[in-house]
A and B are shown apart, each in its own frame.
Chain A
């Protein structure tokens, strides 16, 4: 495992990168990215057999960002892994960029699936996991879902399929921040009892603090949680984690801080030098 303190700093750096990208572009999803930061840091720096030299190799581990709206975060991570050129992060969502709010596989290196429409990633991941079983390859497939995304029926079609085919090389991670676009999941379409649902579909379930990198890492080091069963990690998170005014406030699902007071708070809380903001991605 990488040094936890380094990774905690890296997580903070990822938040800075994401908010700068979105602020500059005037688009992208900040709060949904912030809830997934520690999950992606733990995956890419402690768990995945994936780096700049093997990211097209057929034996690599796969990571599928089914909650495609966290694209900005994934770009920042891929740049940190040197799979993506760091210098293009500041083109995010701008004219002629390859980096849209939702990632596209044929444009951006390191993207397994073009996502943005929710509910697609788990089936795609199950197909890759099945191919791994058929071809006797030992890679693993990780799929990050948002909790609101599991309201899609296709997720449960895929859940049935994965357990029926004993895909223990498939791992779903749910970024369970309890908010969806317009409000609390609990108020809009309750998922409870959430872990029991997965269990009854034949998955082995574990729950973690989704902002604790070492806890996420330790838990994912024990996959498959049970042989012959797909694993699901329910990561309890806070939407907008890291910014006081954004945490747990639904409106920030798709909103960018304004250029006055809000940006000042951002700079203060995330330790961004207001004056230096310009070419920040070197």
Chain B
């Protein structure tokens, strides 16, 4: 996703001189071509994320479209109050791009994991949150972020995420995407773990369980219409996110469901169970250790379906 993001930003910056890449000493090497070709549109502010956001807001007040970039906790939590006051309160046209969604930086430990970001960014008025599931969607969300006037938080993975979309599709900000139809139960997912969800759903099909899979790339604003229609159609919903179980994506969907008129929904959130992920290995190892493997998704889906019956 990181490369998709960067090559897309390069193309956007080529056409629109107001677009700028502002980084906090991360990704600078892969940005070399950008820096070389558009020196006036690139700034590495150094390891100073609070200043990064303030400078970006100042640039945006002069008509620039800054895409700020570093590892997720450092661009969301470290300068959180700058994002609140300088970006969201003023509704400035600043894009916050966090690399390393969820447990991507598996070996770097809890300081580098991003499992709180959705929760904290979700409570900021004026903020739009997008969380692409694969490289093609990362490209589409980057274009959408540039087109939207206002703050956007873009949550991307690192590299090697398998493609979910085999071909181009009609992307619309705020609109969920049905990746697989199913009648018994629906899974809402966001980010690269959507690939595991899709695999799990296909395998469950062989067990005669018909699972609908919906990719929610826009976490704020949520596609309320689709959530409610799906709840009515299937009666049971599982949410899957690579994020703390509290306050994140699943919580957002729970809020929508609980305040709706729909009753008797079987509902379960799958995520990291309110802990720091002090464990090392590959991204896949960490997902398995913290209950987010394909097998975990299958088990939770079966259990939820049993409740329904």
Inter-chain contacts of B86 with A (CB < 8 A): 113, 120, 123-124
Asked if B28 CB lies within 8 Å of chain A CBs, one says no
Q: Mark A122-135, 1 if CB is under 8 A from B, else 0.
A: 11111111111011
* B59 to A: closest C-beta gap in Å: 4
**Beyond the given A105-B90, A123-B58, A131-B64, could you list 4 further A-B residue pairs with CB under 8 A, ordered by the A residue number?**
A123-B54, A126-B54, A131-B58, A135-B62
Q: List 10 A-B contacts (CB under 8 A).
A: A106-B89, A123-B53, A124-B54, A127-B59, A130-B55, A130-B58, A154-B82, A157-B50, A161-B45, A165-B43
Contact with A along B33-65 (1 / 0, CB 8 A): 000000010010110101101111111111110
B81 at the interface (CB under 8 A from A): yes
What is the count of residue pairs linking A and B with beta-carbon distances less than 8 angstroms?
Answer: 94
Taking a contact as CB atoms under 8 Å apart, the answer to whether A123 and B55 are in contact is yes
B85 touches A120 (CB 8 A): yes
A233 to B89, CA, bound (A): 29
A193 at the interface (CB under 8 A from B): no
Neighbouring A residues of B54 by C-beta, 8 Å: 120, 122-124, 126-127, 154, 158
Q: How far is the CB of B259 from chain A (nearest CB, A)?
A: 29
Chain B residues with Cβ under 8 A from A87's Cβ? none
Residue of B54, B57, B61, B90 ringed by the most chain A CB atoms within 10 A:
B54
- Whether the Cβ atoms of B51 and A158 lie closer than 8 Å is yes
A278: interface (CB < 8 Å): no
Chain A residue at smallest Cβ distance from B53 = A123
Residues 154-189 of chain A: 1 if any B CB is under 8 Å from the residue's CB, otherwise 0?
Answer: 100110110011000000000000000000000000
Q: A31: shortest Cβ distance to chain B, in Å?
A: 24
B91 at the interface (CB under 8 A from A): yes
Per DSSP, chain A at the interface is helix
B62 and A112: CB pair below 8 A? no
Q: Are A128 and B61 in contact (CB under 8 A)?
A: yes
Most A-side CB within 10 Å, residue of B43, B45, B50, B58: B58
Query: Which residues of A pack against B, CB within 8 Å?
Result: 58, 104-106, 112-117, 119-120, 122-132, 134-135, 153-154, 157-158, 160-161, 164-165
Contact A114 B53 (CB under 8 A): no
CB of A241, distance to nearest CB on chain B (Å): 29
Chain B residues near A123: list those with CB within 8 A. 50-51, 53-55, 57-58, 82, 86
Q: Are B61 and A112 in contact (CB under 8 A)?
A: yes
The winner among A122, A127, A128 for most chain B CB atoms within 10 A is A127
Is A125 in contact with B89, judged by CB distance below 8 angstroms?
Answer: no
Cα–Cα, bound, A154→B64 (Å): 22
Q: Contact: B62 with A124, CB < 8 Å?
A: no
A57 to B43, CA, bound (A): 25
Asked if residues A117 and B50 are in contact (CB atoms below 8 Å), the reply is: no
Which 3 pairs from chain A and chain B are nearest by CB?
A: A127-B58, A123-B54, A131-B62
Q: Which residues of B contact A119 (CB under 8 A)?
A: 50
A127 contact set on B, CB distance < 8 A: 54-62
B95 to chain A, nearest CB (A): 14
Collect the chain A residues with CB atoms within 8 Å of residue B58's CB.
123-131
Cβ 8 A contact of A161, one of B51, B57, B62, B64: B51
Q: Is the CB of A157 within 8 A of B85?
A: no
Alpha-carbon distance between A265 and B45 when the two chains are bound, in angstroms: 51
Residue of A nearest to B82 (CB): A120
Could you say which residues of chain A place their CB within 8 Å of the CB of B81?
117
Known: A105-B90, A106-B90. A130 touches B59 (CB 8 A): yes
Cα separation A237 to B63 with both chains bound (whole Å): 36
Given A120-B54, A123-B51, A126-B51, do A114 and B59 touch, yes or no (CB 8 Å)?
A: no
CB neighbours of B40 from chain A (8 A): 134
Give Cα distance in the complex from A132 to B53, angstroms.
18
Interface centre among B57, B59, B62, B82 (most CB of A within 10 A): B62
Could you say which residues of chain B place their CB within 8 Å of the CB of A113?
A: 57, 61, 86, 90
On chain A, the residues within 8 Å of B63 by CB distance are 58, 131
A154 to chain B, nearest CB (A): 4
A267 to B: closest C-beta gap in Å: 37
CB neighbours (8 Å) of A58 from chain B are 62-63
Q: A228 to B183, alpha carbons, bound, how many Å?
A: 67
Measured between beta carbons, the chain A residues less than 8 angstroms from B62 are 58, 127-128, 131-132, 135
Query: Given the complex of chains A and B, what is the CA–CA distance between A87 and B183 in angstroms?
Result: 64
Closest to A117 in B: B85
Q: How far is the CA of A124 from the CA of B64 in the complex (A)?
A: 13
Return chain B residues, CB-CB under 8 Å to A122: 54
Q: Which residue of the partner chain, among A104, A128, A135, A154, contacts B50 with CB atoms under 8 Å?
A: A154
Residue from A115, A124, A126, A135 whose CB has the most chain B CB atoms within 10 Å:
A124
- A112–B62 alpha-carbon span in the complex (Å): 11
**Closest-CB distance, B80 to chain A (whole angstroms):** 11
Q: Is the CB of B50 within 8 A of A131?
A: no
Docked complex Cα distance between A116 and B81 (Å): 12
- A158: chain B residues within 8 A (beta carbon): 51, 54-55
Q: Which residues of A contact B59 (CB under 8 A)?
A: 127-128, 130-131
Determine the distance from Cα of A122 to Cα of B45 in the docked complex, in whole angstroms: 14
Give the nearest-CB partner of B20 in chain A.
Answer: A134
Q: How far is the CB of B242 from chain A (nearest CB, A)?
A: 31
Bound CA span A154–B60, Å: 19
| Given known A-B contacts A58-B63, A131-B58, A134-B40, A161 and B50 have beta carbons under 8 A apart | no
